[in-house]
């Protein structure tokens, strides 16, 4: 891979193509992976839906959106399963990878779920949004090495206890500090998304300002969860998810649509085209 700087490796289309999950005539919905989305709440019902739809578009055979007090309807969202967690526990659910955080709330319950997954050494976990703030408030760092965190600049600043300006002015230094804190795969969202597992830092060669819209990060987190559920390694899932996510924004502007107008649902709708392009090599 070409190095963007002496410290950073540029991750491009040809690299993403090699990571794409294979498609076989022997596939069934179980073999495509089961993704559990712990997201959404009364205050932010859409976040979990966007993440679940992102996971579906990224190929997960089963997607379940689970909440403590269910605020979404299966009639309005027939493509994925919904589950009310009242009276249930994670051990009652069947899943290969789990996302915690988008719109889920910063509270004791979120902390309990994260701690449960840590205690049980469940390997395929993605933490985003409220889950990251929960880790700060409840002092849950460090995390297992196989987990993935997906902070934006503001969230990372909160985790590192520094200003947003300090993260923005030196993103390389920030992601190195984040890796020391989290001890897992770190994906720093923003212009020139950066990803590291410790030894190397990758910059994603896709994406533009069209992604600067609420909800797009929820879609990304769902996509990464789906790739983990399908068997990709943590770093691979983060790299592929980030590249595809960025490529949807490139496709948007290439289709003569203004960067200001893209919304999270447009990202979801663009995923099939990007995956098709990658599979064609």
**Cα torsion angle, 44, 46, 51, 56, sign:** positive
Annotated binding site for (6S)-NADPHX: 47, 103, 152, 218
Decide if 211 contacts 162 (C-beta within 8 A): no
- Report how far residue 209's alpha carbon sits from residue 246's, in angstroms, rounded to the nearest whole number: 10
Annotated binding site: 47, 103, 152, 189-193, 217-218
| Residue 107, strand partner residues | none
Structural tokens at position 98: 């789990």
- Burial track 228-248 (b if 16+ CB lie within 10 A, e otherwise): bbbbbebbbbbbbbbbbbbbb
Question: Pick from 137, 142, 219, 222: which is nearest to 186 by CA?
Answer: 142
DSSP string across 51-115: HHHHHHHTT-SEEEEEESS--S-TTT-TTSEEEE-TT--GGGS--SEEEE-TTT-SSHHHHHHHH
Annotated binding site for AMP: 189-193, 217
- In eight-state DSSP terms, residue 160 is H
Strands (E), the chain: 8-11, 34-38, 62-67, 81-84, 97-100, 125-127, 148-149, 185-188, 194-196, 201-204
């Amino acid at each position: 891979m070409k190095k963007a700087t002496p410290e950073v490796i540029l991750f491009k289309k040809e690299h993403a193509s090699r990571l794409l999950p294979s498609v076989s005539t022997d596939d069934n919905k179980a073999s495509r992976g089961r993704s559990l989305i712990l997201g959404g709440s009364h205050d932010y019902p859409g976040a979990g839906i966007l993440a679940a739809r992102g996971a579906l578009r990224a190929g997960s055979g089963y997607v379940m959106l689970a909440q403590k007090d269910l605020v979404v309807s299966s009639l309005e969202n027939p493509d994925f399963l919904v589950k009310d967690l009242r009276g249930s526990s994670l051990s009652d659910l069947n899943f290969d990878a789990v996302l915690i955080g988008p719109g889920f709330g910063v509270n004791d319950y979120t902390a309990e779920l994260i701690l449960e997954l840590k205690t049980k050494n469940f390997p395929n976990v993605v933490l985003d949004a409220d889950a990251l703030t929960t880790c700060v408030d409840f002092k849950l760092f460090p995390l297992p090495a196989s987990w993935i965190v997906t902070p934006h600049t503001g969230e990372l600043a909160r985790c590192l206890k520094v200003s947003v300006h300090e993260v923005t002015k030196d993103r390389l230094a920030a992601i190195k500090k984040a890796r020391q804190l989290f001890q897992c795969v770190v994906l720093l969202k923003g212009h020139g998304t950066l990803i590291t597992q410790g030894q190397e830092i990758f910059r994603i060669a896709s994406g533009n300002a069209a992604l600067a819209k609420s909800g797009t990060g929820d879609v990304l987190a769902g996509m990464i969860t789906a790739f983990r559920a399908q068997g990709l390694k943590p770093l691979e899932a983060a790299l592929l998810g980030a590249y595809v996510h960025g490529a949807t924004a490139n496709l948007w502007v290439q289709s003569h649509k203004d960067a200001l107008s893209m919304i999270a649902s447009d990202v979801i709708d663009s995923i099939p085209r990007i995956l098709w392009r990658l599979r064609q090599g």
